[in-house]
Each structure stands twice: as structure tokens, then as C-alpha cells.
Amino acid sequence: MRSNFPGITNEYNATTPELYISCDIEANGPCPGLFSMFSFGLAAFTIEKRLVGTFSRNLEVLEDAGIDERTMNWWSQAGQIEAFRKCRTELVNPRIAMADCKAWLESMRAFGKPIIVGAPSGFDFTFMYYYFQRFLNESPIGFASLDLRSYAAAVMKRQYRHVGKRQYPAEWIDEGLPHTHVALDDAIEQGCILINMMRDNLSLPRVVTMIDERTTAVPETR
């Protein structure tokens, strides 16, 4: 069987397609367990740059966790005040939020095998993994994730510390998707960057604008 896309092997078409779950979290400290997640946002993208689903929650803080002063000083800066306000409204119990998130992730499997993507994954993924394990005693996101900057370093053929968003090619950055520090906004922005760089790496045509199918998406027949 021949591949329909240049740069993608036959093995890709013969297996379950990947679904990239871009993840962004906001917190009151640098690591899970010791500190709490304020909010998280997930955005599910296909390789065709179809946004097929999103999920986000603002969370009640953990009663047994602390608050990091440096992090809270950052939140108190003028540029972050509105994002902080947005992540502290309509708070949900973490156990309920993670159970709802698991159900959403299961529904997304209709579009492909979920792969969590973080920027950096060492921060966002570990908070999500900890909360799933603590409140559900399992991890519906597995125990591995894809790091955006690491992928970029490989595509750009540079060392990790020589790569950052400022060094990304202009065509990887979509206009109209600012980094707001609102979890879902940033998850969507980072998901578009990932798909742009992946399509570049796989020699697929660029998709200029995200295809938002959150209310109409149906799984493709493969």
C-alpha cells in the first residue's frame, strides 16, 4: 500500500492515527504535589490541523499543598492579572475535573491515539500525570509525552538550548493566536505550532489556518 502523503511511511497509514493533545497548565508553584494546578487546557489536533476537541477546567487548590511566593509575584504583575482572574473563576473539585477529563480523552480516541504534547512537557505533563494518579489512581494519558522544543530542535537540526520560540521559522507561528497564559488559549496556540512543524518535517503542504471542528468533527474513515 502506497502512502497518500510524501514523507509518511506505509506503517503510518497501517496503524491508528495519532491525535496530538496539546496541554497547557497554570499553577501556583513549580512542581506538582508541593503546589497546586490553578487550571489546565487541552486541545486535540489531527495531523491535518483539525482542532476536533478542547477541554479545560479551573481547579480548587490542594488543601495539603503550599504556595510559591515567586510564582505568585509573577501572577501579580500587570500583564498576568487578567489571566489570573480567569483561572480563579468557576472552580471545580480536582477529583471531579480529572474524572471528566478522562471521559473526554476517551471520546477523543475516536479520532486517533492521544499523545500529550507540552511546552515544556516536563512541567505541564507532570502536573497532569500527578493529578490523574492522585485522584483517579491511574493515568489515561500514559507516562510519556512529546516536548515541543525537543521536536523543534530535531527539525531545525540545532542543540536544544539554541532553540526557542523566537528562533522558530515564521511559518510555524499562526497569526491571531497570542500567548495569553490562559490555559486553553495557550494549548491551542502550541498545538498549531506543533502541527506546523510536524508537517514541515514530514514534507506535507502547509495548512495556513487551523480548521476548527469542535462542534462538527466526526472521525475519519481510515
- Which 3 state secondary structure label does DSSP give 119? coil
CB 134 within 8 A of CB 37: no
What was the pLDDT predicted at 16?
Answer: 84
7, pLDDT greater than 50: no
- Tell me the domain boundaries of the chain: 10-212
**pLDDT of 12 higher than 70:** no
Per-residue model confidence as pLDDT tens digits over 161-196: 999 899 999 999 999 998 999 999 999 999 999 999
Partners of 21 in beta bridges: 44, 116
Q: What is the pLDDT at residue 61?
A: 98
Say which residue, 8 or 16, is predicted with more confidence: 16
Distance CA 176, CA 173 (A): 9
In CATH, which of 3.40.50.10880, 3.40.190.10, 3.30.420.10, 3.90.1010.10 is domain 10-212? 3.30.420.10
Q: What is the pLDDT confidence band of residue 215, given thresholds at 50, 70 and 90?
A: confident
The pLDDT assigned to 222 comes to 43
Whether residue 3 has pLDDT greater than 80: no
Please count the residues of the chain: 222
Largest CA distance in the chain: 58
Q: Return the minimum-mean-pLDDT range out of 5-9, 23-27, 143-147, 155-159.
A: 5-9
Tens of pLDDT, residue by residue over 65-117, are 999 999 999 999 999 999 999 999 999 999 999 999 999 999 999 999 999 99
